[in-house]
Amino acid sequence: MNRREFLQTGSAAVSGMLLINSRLAFGYQANSAVRHALLGCGNRGSSVAESFARNTSARIVALADIFGDKLDAGHDHFNKILASLNQPEIDSKLLFKGPHAYEQLANSKDVDLIQISTPPFFHVQHLEAAVASGKHVYCEKPVGIDIAQAKHALEIAKHVKPNQSVDVGFQCRMAPPIAALQEKIKAGGMGKIVTMLGNYNAPASTEKKPVGTGKDEYRLRNWLWDRVLSGDILVEQNIHIIDLANWMVGAHPIKATATGGRNVLNHWGDIWDNYQVTYTYPNDIHFSFESTQFGSDGVFDAGLKLFGVSGTATCPYSGPVGFSGPNAWSWKESEGTTAGSGQFAANGAFNDNLKFADREKERTFIDSIVSGPAHNQIADGVETALSCMLGRMAGYQKHEVTWDAMLAQKEDWPLGFSVDQFAS
């Protein structure tokens, strides 16, 4: 199977290539422009918003960021993007700066959709405001960095309106090779899954120089290095592979043991630079996951292997996708590629098996807004975030932790400073 065959044969809904209805109950006309606002003008946020602008009917109309220099850079960047698309520039009245910019977006009558691409600590707070305002929401992962935030997000999910669409940024599920593999596995192509192996080995993130001298600004600009702001690498970055494991199995883990630590990194911050986690899923399915995030050699390798009763499947970011056995199957366009040969993309825009993942995810999301049915992916996003927190908690506490024991703990991480100091 290749991409063309996949799009033709079957999984229009999964691939994101849905046709837009001519008239809609949601108040949008076919192919109308959804007015899109970006909250958080950083590297990943700008990449996703640009993809929305280039690949969907959404139109970037508003920007917001806590820092003025990031907002100005975003304004300049998107005005050039919009000019290339023959679309008008962003009105300066729809540029919002400071710690309360998210509330201004939520209250704006000129915005239909808010893309939340702020540091993970703020995701749930910003999600609550966007959902309460009735806006459609595209929220980057994770949905919460601690147990308290995860539980709060589940309460927010109950208030999503029937015609309000909320997506979580698990775009890997929408990559055509991976979506096709999941369909084959779900149909029983490799028999019952017995065990899984996963990895996410990435280079270290780079320092972001602050404009001012305050330690709180430094923390915000270098949030990837801060476990409270990011959730640590298992929750912030490795979450994509753990999400794929949950998706392939159709369940979340019920317990975990873990090791790891901060053995290489020596710059400011408190995130770990390596994890080794063993998850147990229902039906005694075991998942061994390991990750690293250090070094500057650019080496990058991420993926998932599944071992079934009648076959072994490979699901890497780069390399062959498919499974062996009596019902052997492969994604043709990945044949002959080398596992682990991909290049890390700090903005998340990969050019391997994930090349079309963002585009397909965004098209499906916009279609849910324009033609329905609406999405509410908050609970799924929380389930995966909690799966990562389970491994993190087992590592930090150095003993096995069950799902129920994790939920019973009062994990509630304070930020430790007020963002109101950045108001102007």
What CATH code is carried by the domain that includes residue 22? 3.40.50.720
What whole-number distance in Å separates Cα of residue 384 and Cα of residue 407?
14
Task: Count CA atoms within 13 Å of residue 350 on its CB side.
Answer: 20
Q: Work out the pLDDT band at 24, boundaries 50, 70, 90.
A: very low
What whole-number distance in Å separates Cα of residue 359 and Cα of residue 361?
5
Least confident of 14-28, 72-86, 108-122, 331-345: 14-28
Q: Residue 4 has what pLDDT? A: 58
Residue 9 lies in a domain: no
Helix (H) or strand (E) run with residue 57 in it: none
Q: What is the CATH number of the domain that holds 214?
A: 3.30.360.10
Sort 308 into a burial class: Cβ within 10 Å, 0-12 / 13-18 / 19+.
buried
Q: Report the amino acid identity of residue 311.
A: G
Judge if 150 and 228 occupy the same domain. no
Please report, rounded to a whole number, the percentage of residues in the chain having pLDDT higher than 90.
85
SS3 194: strand
Q: What is the mean pLDDT of residues 414-423?
A: 97
Judge if 387 and 243 occupy the same domain. yes
What whole-number distance in Å separates Cα of residue 78 and Cα of residue 63?
9
270 and 256 Cβ atoms separated by less than 8 Å: no
Judge if 248 and 392 occupy the same domain. yes
Q: Residue 26 has what pLDDT? A: 46
| Residue where a domain terminates, one of 172, 193, 226 | 172
What whole-number distance in Å separates Cα of residue 39 and Cα of residue 117?
6
What whole-number distance in Å separates Cα of residue 387 and Cα of residue 244?
11
Q: How far is CA 286 from CA 35, 46, 166, 246, 326, in A?
A: 44, 37, 31, 12, 23
Q: List pLDDT tens digits, range 330-373.
A: 999 888 777 766 676 665 667 789 999 999 999 999 999 999 99
Helix (H) or strand (E) run with residue 51 in it: helix 43-55
| Residue where a domain terminates, one of 127, 152, 172 | 172
Judge if 74 and 152 occupy the same domain. yes
Encoding tokens for residue 345? 């993309």
Q: Report the amino acid identity of residue 383.
A: E
What whole-number distance in Å separates Cα of residue 242 and Cα of residue 89?
39
Residue 369 lies in a domain: no
Q: Work out the pLDDT band at 320, boundaries 50, 70, 90.
A: very high
Judge if 167 and 245 occupy the same domain. no
Q: Residue 6 has what pLDDT? A: 59
What whole-number distance in Å separates Cα of residue 187 and Cα of residue 147?
34
Q: Residue 348 has what pLDDT? A: 61
Q: Residue 345 has what pLDDT? A: 66
The b/e string for 318-335 (b: 16+ C-beta within 10 A; e otherwise) is: bbbbbbeeeeebbbebbe
Q: What is the mean pLDDT of residues 5-32?
A: 44
Q: Work out the pLDDT band at 16, boundaries 50, 70, 90.
A: very low
Q: How far is CA 67 from CA 40, 100, 223, 418, in A?
A: 9, 11, 14, 15
Encoding tokens for residue 45? 């946020």
Q: Residue 21 has what pLDDT? A: 38
Say yes or no to pLDDT of 273 above 90: yes
Q: Work out the pLDDT band at 296, boundaries 50, 70, 90.
A: confident
Q: How far is CA 163 from CA 136, 210, 241, 256, 375, in A?
A: 9, 41, 30, 38, 9
Choose between 299 and 240: higher pLDDT: 240
The Cα angle at residue 156 between residues 153 and 160, in degrees rounded to 5: 135
Judge if 189 and 235 occupy the same domain. yes
What whole-number distance in Å separates Cα of residue 246 and Cα of residue 281?
9
What whole-number distance in Å separates Cα of residue 289 and Cα of residue 182?
19
Judge if 294 and 336 occupy the same domain. yes
Q: List pLDDT tens digits, range 181-201.
A: 999 999 999 999 999 999 999
Q: Residue 292 has what pLDDT? A: 97
Least confident of 3-12, 95-104, 145-154, 316-325: 3-12
Q: What is the mean pLDDT of residues 225-241?
A: 98
Average pLDDT of the chain, as a whole number: 92
Say yes or no to pLDDT of 79 above 50: yes
| Domain carrying residue 336 | 173-354+377-408
Encoding tokens for residue 420? 């109101």
What count of other Cβ atoms lies within 10 Å of the Cβ of residue 105? 26
Phi and psi (nearest 5°) for 238?
A: -70, -10
